[in-house]
Amino acid sequence: MAVERDLGAVSPTRRDRRRSERPARTLRRVRALLAGGLVLGVGATMTIAAWTDQEIATSAVSAGTFSIVSRSDTATAFASHGPTETVLTVPLNASGLWPGQTRAAYVQVQASGTLPGSVNLTGVTVTNNANGTPTGADLALQDALRVGISVVAAPANCTTALPATGTLTAVPALTAQALTVGPVNTITYCIVLTLPSDAATTAQGGAVKPTWTFTGTTN
């Protein structure tokens, strides 16, 4: 008796099923990698092509200037009389003094730069006519002289009636005076010099040269 076999109805074995599934899994992996590559590619392209813009600001910076100028009774124009310029002469007319005589003269100071500040009397030096240290009659005259320096409202207020009680080498304690540049203001210092009536006889023939220093300081 012959046995019939239905070959079409034979079920695939487990090995056959694994073989048939491999291409499908491989295809899915390839598709996933391609998709990932496309995403990465798009991201990189966007970074390279990013737009930029800038705002730029600048400013000019410069320094102002500060200086002072002065004049005295005999100088009609203000000018610089600093360490490297000609020293301003204070016309005290104090030659040939005798005991009991007093002289007065003024010095005016202004700001000449672009910045405001202040000014004050900061120093005094005394030499003999040869720019040396006073000795003998010169030193006796230096010690005998009395000086007063004060700030007055105007040159007309600088008179011999103002007190002169300080020594020639002492710097009086004055208040610093404000200097403005717009409008320009003027500070007037009055210098009063007297040879007291009781001056020592040894001062006869002596000669001294006092030099006052006014210092300006910016605010």
pLDDT of residue 50: 87
The shares of helix, strand and coil residues in the chain, as percent rounded to the nearest 5, are 25, 25, 50
The pTM assigned to this predicted structure is 0.75
Return the structure tokens found at 8: 């079409």
Average pLDDT over residues 125-149: 97
pLDDT of residue 108: 98
Q: Greater confidence, 140 or 10?
A: 140
Domain segments of the chain as ranges: 68-218
Model confidence pLDDT, tens digit, residues 35-84: 555 444 545 555 567 899 999 999 999 999 999 999 998 878 999 998 88
Model confidence pLDDT, tens digit, residues 79-129: 999 888 999 999 999 999 999 999 999 999 999 999 999 999 999 999 999
Cβ count within 10 A of residue 94: 17
**Rounded (5°) CA angle 190-89-148:** 25
